[in-house]
Amino acid sequence: MVSRMQKLDVSDDKAIRMTIESASGHARNFVPHAASAQACIKASKSDAQMGLSRLEAEARLEAHGPNEISSAQQSNIIQLMARQFSSGLILVLIGAAAVSASVGYIGDAATILAIVLVNAILGGVQEWRAANSLAALKKFLSPRAAVVREGVTQDIDAREIVEGDLIRLKTGDRVPADLRLIHPTGLTIEEAILTGESSATSKQTKPVASNAPLSERTNLAFMGTTVVAGHATGIATSTGMRTELGRIAALTEDLGDTKTPLEIKLQTLGKQLGIAAIAIAIGLTALGVLTGRPWFEMLMTGVSLAVAAVPEGLPAVITITLALGVMTMARKKALLRNLQAAEALGAVDVICTDKTGTLTRNEMLVTDVWLAAGALKVEGNGYAPSGNFIDSNDQPVLPSAREDLQALLHVAMSCNNAEVIEDPDGSWRKVGEATEAALMTLAQKGGLSTRQHLPAVEELPFSSARKRMTVVVENETGKATALVKGAPEVILERTTHVRIGKDIVAIDDDIRAQATQAFTAFANAGKRTLALASRNLDTGMPDDLEDVEQGLTLLGVVGILDAPRIEVAAALADARKAGIKVVMITGDAGETAAAIASQIGLAGTTVVTGPHLDTMTDAELRAAIASDAIFARVAPEHKVRIVEVLQALNQRIAMTGDGVNDAPALKRADVGIAMGIRGTDVARDASDIVLADDNFATIIAAIREGRRQYQNIVKFVCYLLSSNTAEVIAIGLAIIVGGPLIFLPVQILWMNLVTDGPTALALGTEPEDKTVMASPPRPSAEPILTRARLTLVASAAAYMSAATLVVFWLSQTKNPTDLAYAQTMAFTTMILLEKVNVLNFRRFQSDAGLGVTSLNQNRWLAIAIAGTIALQLLAIYAPPLQSALHTVPLNGSDWLIILAAAVPVLAVGQATKLWISSRN
Ligand code: ATP
């Protein structure tokens, strides 16, 4: 296709489209798994080396649409508003409006309906904002794929893949489309999502019967399945809804559709408060009717009271706050995959972090090479393949003159799946794993060209559990050799010979000791260490492929520099202040781990290695963690054990991971954190959070944000509760003592549904308290309403209800015949009290100031307060609202009384905080 495309007049859009239509028409009767790979490439008009051209890919994307499984349509804003009407209490209100209308109170009925409508609009807009944030986040998290276009491998959004695209797969990838495999190397794919079979299928390239069931189509890779080992290239045969997965339309992973523990907790709290409120409402209504008040007035008061006091909007407000917080975290490069994570993050006690790439920069540079004939230093920077090899006399070495170095470099180049690429600006970057890229650079510094990279006939891939990788290559004469690299002690165990200069001799204890001394010295300097070895397979391949890794000839050892990230030391200090323990768990050598730990200021000097951990009891392991041990040379299953041991102590664990085998530990941890750059799709799918920059400091930033959100949720829950309690007490007391109603039903609705909800939501955007990272993680059993918080709620509510009642009675005494005046005074006093009282809930600490001067730090709250007061002015001075809410205009002295009643609530709040802190 590429060559044909080039011959076409590419500016002629129509010509391109016709070509594609005939291509897809052709493909319709084509059965990819029954045809050869070549035939598939031809049928899809692609090219096995170059892939598609950019223009061709764009045209196909336009013709066939994006490569995605369409999920249920997103709710639109109208639907979200409509949903607000489905709540029970709103239906009761609509019923109340109908009753009002039927007994002739048309005005009240209209007001109730208007308030319900305003409430639905506000609720709908907020939910819509939250849904949009989550949708934007999904875009961030959308999978990516390595695609060859115009001969260059590119990392693209998987939704842009088109039929005919040449795709590269590697271990840990989620297959991005249905592919016909061209070059699978040791490729094994887990296809349970499609076939239900939990054991992974080994893939190959020969055609299979056209009627073979999915599980036997071993030359295809299906969208949504995961590569558990090996790598491959393949050609996309179907995308989007035309894939097997699309056909069964399974994959729907909806962000935010499960309730978080906090939401559940608050729902329960909301229910309990709701039942109490309804009981009180019924009681007061009954009392009112029994003491001779008109039944209709009491019915409406009861309904309004119930609506006022039932905090049924609470879980929605929490979801909105968490969802908006998710966006804040995304800006800080922590992408949350579910809402639970936001909440869990704020409560983390222990972070188990890997080292490479998270605490260090993952920019690897081979600085040392040990050969049995002598050690060499390597000069250079980054991945640029230029720099000298320097011997122990500080003299440059001519690499081509050193056969032993050439043999080592040959392994470095061919036992390697990475590339280093020069960008147009002259800088060099890696494609693939950093360790392998560093070895590729090393080989090129030694004069090897990428043309000397021998293709693997067989491959035993690297895994953190095996800690080694082997390829079998053949030279032009068909002679096979195994090339091996891996952790030095793992390679030494399998070594029988060593290369010294030009000779290969049996290895003795002395050479083993020298090699060990060399790699230990590299590790003590914080470097990553690898040994390189080979085995001549002249006598033929062993029956079991793994046996090629025995009887090896050691060629040398390398030391790789990977400097700590600059920002990590400060982040660790923050974690310490916040009472969060950080445990390093690494696949690297103990000495390397200890050296890096001391460079970044991580406590702990004892190192526990994976094999040692296996011999420990749970109690010993707990003691080791308590004494700040570092875990090195661990395998992924050790991570699961560490999580379990800590969870048994009721600790909440965040665990990082990147490989396929890390998935169980990521799932098991309270917060699984996958790496966005280094991580595999499998690790990402198993995690709660993806770090866009792989950086440890981002975890701490996300925890800080998680804590802020939790604090703010607590703040608005307490605030709402104090407002509602104050209203219920004031109305209730007035009924009990037999006085007139202090607020009319429409006024209660106005107060709660129109003015107080937005104020509470604005509290959710409070900036963080100074103490946010200065106090230990909250205890897991801590309720939202602690005794101290309840005390503040109660004292504020007591004052607000008392002050409102006093204003009401004063007004009645002043104007005994004008009930509307007294009610307007009480109504306005309560609204103003609530606006002043919100300042009490900005901070719970007594030394944090009154929350007035710092109002500029929370723009939304300032807007909510000013907006509410402006609305209240309209409510009492604008004639249409006057008649809707039954208010009368107030004069200057009335306002003085209201202010005199409202402002002291700040003093009450402050005095309570001082009293609470004096008791602690
Ligand atoms: P961390 O857990 O801190 O991120 P890590 O994941 O980088 O560490 P591993 O990738 O498990 O640790 O590597 C463990 C050891 O395996 C390394 O110290 C190195 O000796 C060896 N190793 C790493 N990458 C490769 C590779 N591509 N091929 C062969 N051996 C490797």
User: For residue 633, which atom of ligand 1 is closest to its CA?
Assistant: 14
Q: Report which protein residue has its CA nearest ligand 1's atom 30.
A: 486
Cα–Cα distances (Å) from 762 to 500, 717, 830, in that order, read 73, 12, 19
Q: Are 560 and 529 in contact (CB under 8 A)?
A: yes
Using CB atoms within 10 Å of the CB of residue 323, give its burial: 0 to 12 exposed, 13 to 18 middle, 19+ buried: buried
For the chain, the average pLDDT equals 85
Lookup: tokens for 571: 């982040």
DSSP string for residues in 91-146: HHHHHHHHHHHHTT-HHHHHHHHHHHHHHHHHHHHHHHHHHHHHHHHHHHT--EEE
Query: For 357, what's the count of Cα atoms within 13 Å in the CB-facing half-sphere?
Result: 18
86 vs 68, which has greater pLDDT? 68
Respond yes or no: is residue 354 known to be catalytic.
Answer: yes
738 vs 517, which has greater pLDDT? 517
Please tell me what DSSP assigns to residue 215.
Answer: G
pLDDT value of position 512: 95
pLDDT at 11 over 70: no
484 vs 744, which has greater pLDDT? 484
Q: Report which protein residue has its CA nearest ligand 1's atom 17.
A: 588
CA of 588 to the centre of ligand 1 (A): 6
CA of 464 to the centre of ligand 1 (A): 6
Mean pLDDT, residues 429-442 taken together: 92
Distance CA 839, CA 852 (A): 7
**Among residues 178, 354, 562, 769, which one is catalytic?**
354
pLDDT at 38 over 60: yes
**Closest by CA position to 327, among listed 468, 131, 594:** 131
3-state secondary structure of 472: strand
- State the pairing for strand pair 428-431/419-422: antiparallel
Q: pTM value? A: 0.79
52 vs 95, which has greater pLDDT? 52
3-state secondary structure of 895: helix
pLDDT (tens digit per residue) in 782-828:
888 889 999 999 999 999 999 999 999 999 999 888 999 999 999 99
pLDDT value of position 375: 94
Task: Kindly give the residue spans of alpha helices, DSSP state H, lying in 502-635.
Answer: 509-524, 568-577, 590-600, 610-615, 618-626
CA of 439 to the centre of ligand 1 (A): 13
CA of 306 to the centre of ligand 1 (A): 62
Please tell me what DSSP assigns to residue 390.
Answer: E
Tell me how far apart the terminal alpha carbons of the chain are, to the nearest angstrom.
77
- The pick from 588, 675, 678 for probing ligand 1's pocket by mutation, whose C-beta has the most ligand atoms within 8 angstroms, reads 588
Please tell me what DSSP assigns to residue 460.
Answer: E
Q: Distance from CA of residue 841 to its chain's centroid? A: 30
Instruction: Confirm or reject: Cβ of 723 under 6 Å from ligand 1.
Output: no
Distance CA 311, CA 500 (A): 79
Q: Are 658 and 679 in contact (CB under 8 A)?
A: yes
User: For residue 530, which atom of ligand 1 is closest to its CA?
Assistant: 20
Distance CA 671, CA 711 (A): 19
Element holding 236 (H helix, E strand): strand 226-238
Distance CA 830, CA 902 (A): 8
pLDDT (tens digit per residue) in 155-174:
898 999 999 999 999 888 88
Instruction: Confirm or reject: Cβ of 168 under 6 Å from ligand 1.
Output: no
- The pick from 356, 534, 609, 694 for probing ligand 1's pocket by mutation, whose C-beta has the most ligand atoms within 8 angstroms, reads 356
CA of 833 to the centre of ligand 1 (A): 62
689 phi and psi angles, rounded to 5 deg: -135, 145
Contacts of 293 (CB under 8 A, 6+ apart): 735, 741
Contacts of 771 (CB under 8 A, 6+ apart): 845
Query: For 750, what's the count of Cα atoms within 13 Å in the CB-facing half-sphere?
Result: 26
3-state secondary structure of 682: helix
pLDDT (tens digit per residue) in 860-906:
999 999 999 999 999 999 999 999 899 999 999 999 999 999 999 99
pLDDT value of position 531: 97
Mean pLDDT, residues 584-609 taken together: 90
250 phi and psi angles, rounded to 5 deg: -90, -45
pLDDT (tens digit per residue) in 241-260:
888 877 765 433 443 445 56
pLDDT (tens digit per residue) in 626-644:
898 999 998 888 999 999 9
Residues of the chain with pLDDT > 70, as a percent, come to 90
Count Cβ neighbours within 10 Å for each residue of 482-510 and write b for 16 or more, e otherwise.
bbbbbbbbbbbebbebbbbeeebeebeee
Q: Report which protein residue has its CA nearest ligand 1's atom 14.
A: 587
Would the CA dihedral through 22, 24, 25, 29 be positive or negative? Answer: positive
Range list of β-strands (E), 303-424: 334-336, 350-353, 365-371, 374-378, 389-390, 396-397, 419-422
pLDDT (tens digit per residue) in 528-560:
999 999 999 888 788 888 889 999 999 999 999
pLDDT value of position 163: 93
118 vs 733, which has greater pLDDT? 733
Using CB atoms within 10 Å of the CB of residue 365, give its burial: 0 to 12 exposed, 13 to 18 middle, 19+ buried: buried
CA of 702 to the centre of ligand 1 (A): 27
Distance CA 698, CA 359 (A): 11
Q: Report which protein residue has its CA nearest ligand 1's atom 1.
A: 586
- State the pairing for strand pair 220-221/178-181: antiparallel
Q: Which amino acid is at 748?
A: I
**Closest by CA position to 426, among listed 465, 454, 386, 461:** 386
Distance CA 918, CA 87 (A): 43
Mean pLDDT, residues 717-736 taken together: 88
Distance CA 504, CA 383 (A): 31
User: For residue 528, which atom of ligand 1 is closest to its CA?
Assistant: 18
Q: What share of the chain is helix, strand, coil (3-state, %, to 5)?
A: 50, 15, 30
Residue 615, number of CB atoms within 10 A of its CB: 7
- State the pairing for strand pair 152-157/365-371: unpaired
Instruction: Confirm or reject: Cβ of 487 under 6 Å from ligand 1.
Output: yes
pLDDT value of position 756: 80
User: For residue 358, which atom of ligand 1 is closest to its CA?
Assistant: 4
Distance CA 400, CA 608 (A): 42
pLDDT at 86 over 70: no
Q: Distance from CA of residue 905 to its chain's centroid? A: 41
pLDDT at 9 over 60: no
788 phi and psi angles, rounded to 5 deg: -60, -45
User: For residue 485, which atom of ligand 1 is closest to its CA?
Assistant: 29
Range list of β-strands (E), 135-203: 144-149, 152-157, 166-169, 178-181, 185-190, 201-202
Instruction: Confirm or reject: Cβ of 839 under 6 Å from ligand 1.
Output: no
pLDDT (tens digit per residue) in 744-760:
888 888 887 777 878 88
CA of 540 to the centre of ligand 1 (A): 30
pLDDT band at 506 (very low <50, low <70, confident <90, very high): very high
Dihedral, 709, 715, 719, 722 alpha carbons, nearest 10: 130
Instruction: Confirm or reject: Cβ of 433 under 6 Å from ligand 1.
Output: yes
pLDDT at 737 over 50: yes
Mean pLDDT, residues 449-475 taken together: 87
Name 500's bridge partners: 503
